[in-house]
Amino acid sequence: MPVSAIDVHVHLHTGVQDQALKDAQQVFKADSQTETVLDFYRSRNLAGVIFDVDKETSTGQKIDNSAVAEMAAASNGRLVGFASVDPWKGRAALEELERCAALGLRGLKVQPITQQFHLGDPQFAPLWDFCQAHQWPLMVHTGTTGIGAGSPGGRGLKLKFGRPIPDLDDVAADFPGLTVIAAHFGWPWHLELMAIARHKANVFVDLSGWSPKYIPSEVVQYMNSVIPDKFLFGSDYPLFSPDRWLKDFEALPIKDAVRQKVLLDNASRLFHWDV
């Protein structure tokens, strides 16, 4: 049976629970999940893109890309795994990407706010060159974050790293063969991201981390009429349930053809994914 939707933003936490995860759980009022990611998505006839986030330099937190690869391999095509590396690790980060490619992972996830780096800094260009050469999509967290939200100083995290201009725009321009997925549509700089997505053919937008009923009207307008081929369903599981996201998306005033593109067709085409 073909899957009903592709969720491009699924967290698989492979390390110990850290403060960042606790912050996000509090913001999203998320319950702990008792079933595996694979069982959850199989039971709902969904496909997904799974990943963790390597931010060892800034937090000491270790992740396991091998665990991501193992779950993807066990899913019989239902789950696609993305690698994550800490950009500050330099040559070791590139070596880890090589290892992840051999494991069958098919993209890279970065979170510039928690990893504390500028995407457009030239010292990190070898990572984007690797992704371009291997035809790996690069998924980039954009906009604000629930991590550190409401705490004094936001736990020291700086939102400037999540602003789409100039960094994401620079990388998309400098690496035209690189597919860039901007996660969370960049709020409060969502208009910047809409401009980038319209201007750069290689930039896509995932809608994760928000209930569709709270997506800004400008983003809905661009989705419904301007660049409907550029938007992707993403939930932010387990912090934001795909069950809730899909229910709220049903009430969004968009065209049926656009709804089909967002839920399934755009991601299927982007990942060359026969689901």
pTM across the whole model:
0.93
Q: ∠ at Cα 202 (225, 170), nearest 5°?
A: 115
pLDDT of residue 30: 47
Average of per-residue pLDDT values in the chain: 93
Does the pLDDT value for residue 156 go beyond 60?
Answer: yes
- Cβ proximity of 196 and 169 under 8 Å: yes
The structural domains of the chain, ordered by start, are 5-270 (3.20.20.140)
Q: Is 103 exposed, middle or buried (0-12, 13-18, 19+ CB in 10 A)?
A: middle
Q: Give residue-wise pLDDT tens across range 158-209.
A: 999 999 999 999 999 999 999 999 999 999 999 999 999 999 999 999 999 9
pLDDT of residue 61: 87
The mean pLDDT of 18-34, rounded to a whole number, is 54
Bridge partners, residue 206, by sequence: 183, 232
Q: Which of 9-18, 62-71, 157-166, 265-274 has the lowest mean pLDDT?
A: 9-18
Alpha helices in the chain (DSSP H): 19-28, 37-43, 56-59, 65-74, 91-103, 112-115, 125-133, 167-174, 190-199, 217-221, 242-250, 256-260, 266-270
Q: Quick one: what percent of the chain has pLDDT higher than 70? A: 92
Q: What is the DSSP letter of 83?
A: B
Does the pLDDT value for residue 46 go beyond 90?
Answer: yes
Q: Give residue-wise pLDDT tens across range 217-243.
A: 999 999 999 999 999 999 999 999 999
- At 32, the pLDDT band (50, 70, 90 cuts) reads low
